[in-house]
Amino acid sequence: MRSVRSRALAGALTAAVGAAVATGPVASAAVPSSRPSSSAATSATLRAYATDTWRSMDAMTDPGTGLPADKITGDLKTRAAVTSPTNIGAYLWSTLVARDLGFISAREAASRVGRTLDSVGRLERHSPDGQFYNWYDPKTLKVVTIWPEDGSQVKPFLSSVDNGWLATALMMVQNAVPQEKARAGRLLAGMDFRSYYDPKAATNGTGLLRGGFWPKDPAPTCSIKADYLGTGTEVYQTCHTYGSPGETRIATYVGIARGQLPPQHYFGLLRTLGDDGCSFGWQEQRPQGEFQTHLGIRTYEGTYGYRGMRLVPIWGGSMFEELMPDLFVPEQKWAARSWGRNHPVFVAAQVAHGMEEAKYGYWGFSPSNDPHGGYRAYGVDAIGMQSDGYPSDEEGTLVDYGYEGCREAAPEPAAYGDGIVTPHASFLALPYAPRAALGNLAELRRDFDAYGPGGFYDAIAVRSGKVSKFYLALDQGMIMAALGNELSHGNMQRYFATGEVEDRLRPVLGLEDWDVVPPSSAMRARLSLD
């Protein structure tokens, strides 16, 4: 579970007991109709979801250290014995949502944030780059070297994307909690994302971020010895780089926004691999597009086709790869002609896969707990760049459209198996298909034992009916951020995307013009996308 989850969280690419409940007695959300009849009813439904989701975030957090567990059982009684930088970031921004929605007072929110930052300040960090390790014990604050679930050895690792999410939360705290601005700033100041940046990794003249590094040789795991900061401290970098703009682009955004990475780096990320004979014939399908030059960097802006639409694919085809950064960076506005066009088409493709191609009757595919056990990466293979990308079902059913002249197509799947649907995917889709998202959530709750005291459980196997009755800090944190934006008019984006962040990042994101084709009006109506 640990290694699969780490790859899913990092989006690895190329060449990848007892707990307190939320403050005050709060009744669980009543089951809503599948189509709320008014904006007031919709807001009430979303607010009820937020109330219960916050309860799970509160329950998984150690009251002494203010650090959340990686997950908690569905009865909110047993926490995991590990946490990560991403988990900590998710708790911090969830606390801001709870304050903004009135679940806790501003005073309590500041106290909670302060307690968490105090513990973050006591965590061991790597020197001289100031990065945080991937796993800590949330009670003792020690770096995890023995995995508590099975006693296996853990080689301490520092992840660029996990540190990116923690840095995102610290940047938000600076703008949202005046009492903690200085302390968040001091923690953030020590984090240098140049420590992951290989300036020669891309093929078009810019660099790429590596997935992370180990301070000590991780052999037999593949690694590259490097000192990108030039401080004389060599570390063992992952052999893979982040060559596709999945959820991992948050580290790119943070690095550019903080002036640590050149803006040209953003255009080193592959929208698709170019159509270069058979050299790139391993990718999911032959793209259509052409080269454009931005900030002196030549970038191939290609798209894939899917059920009459065209879109820029994400590495594995999962919802959180596409939409998690959009919770904080207003891509719909700042990248109106690129991500702003792509996001609604990507959501439409996920809905079409679940409802029409796989015929599950439900949709929303993203890395999550596996109701059959463990943790796995799920997605829609056809809209992922990786040829053997993330499947949407337990059986691992994939498509292969072939690559004309290089790779023969495989027959279309005769059927799909036990589809694994995760509710957080629907919450991420709210800005782009609210009617479909609300309906999907209501139907999951109506048809399965999918809802508990902390909101929606992590994943549902929709044919077998199995449910993973756990709450994960990452997935609940995405739900809280999505609901925070919906119910407080974009506060999550506002807390992150201000001042220097906007000055440095917005001009870069506004340069591209992707040739995306939306779904037909008939498909939109059929899938309730309007």
pLDDT score for 12: 31
**211-224 per-position pLDDT tens digit:** 999 999 999 999 99
The answer to whether 302 and 312 have CB atoms below 8 angstroms apart is yes
* Three-state SS at 381: helix
Q: Tell me how far apart the 2 most distant CA atoms of the chain are, in Å.
A: 64
Q: Give a three-class secondary structure readout of 385-400.
A: CCCCCCCCECCCCCCC
Q: Are strands 288-294 and 297-306 parallel, antiparallel or unpaired?
A: antiparallel
Give the span between the Cα atoms of 233 and 215, in whole angstroms. Answer: 9
**What's the CA gap between 490 and 382, in Å, rounded?**
31
Confidence (pLDDT) at 38:
63
Q: Are 119 and 141 in contact (CB under 8 A)?
A: yes
Tokens of 414: 């005769």
Can you tell me whether residue 124 is helix, strand or coil? coil
Q: Which two tokens stand for residue 11?
A: 């989006």
Nearest C-alpha neighbor of 15 from the set 154, 203, 215:
203
What is the structure's pLDDT at 204?
A: 87
Q: For tokens 């806790």, what's the residue?
A: 104
| Helix residue ranges, H only, 226-294 | 249-257
Q: What is the pLDDT of residue 238?
A: 98
Q: How far apart are CA 384 and CA 302, in angstroms?
A: 13
Instruction: For residue range 471-481, list pLDDT tens digits in order.
Output: 999 999 999 99
Average pLDDT of adjacent 10-residue blocks, the chain of 530 residues: 40 30 35 55 96 98 98 98 98 98 98 98 98 98 97 97 98 98 97 97 92 98 97 97 95 98 96 85 92 95 97 97 98 98 98 98 98 97 92 97 91 97 98 97 98 98 98 98 97 97 98 98 95
pLDDT value at position 530? 86
Distances, alpha carbon 210 to alpha carbons 168, 189, 194, 430, in Å: 18, 21, 10, 31
Q: Where are the alpha helices (DSSP H) in 60-140?
A: 85-100, 106-122
Q: Mean pLDDT, the chain, as a whole number?
A: 92
Query: What is the enclosing helix (H) or strand (E) of 332?
Result: helix 331-334
Q: What is the pLDDT of residue 24?
A: 33
pLDDT score recorded for residue 15: 32
DSSP 133: P
Q: From CA 443, how far away is CA 362, in angstroms rounded? A: 8
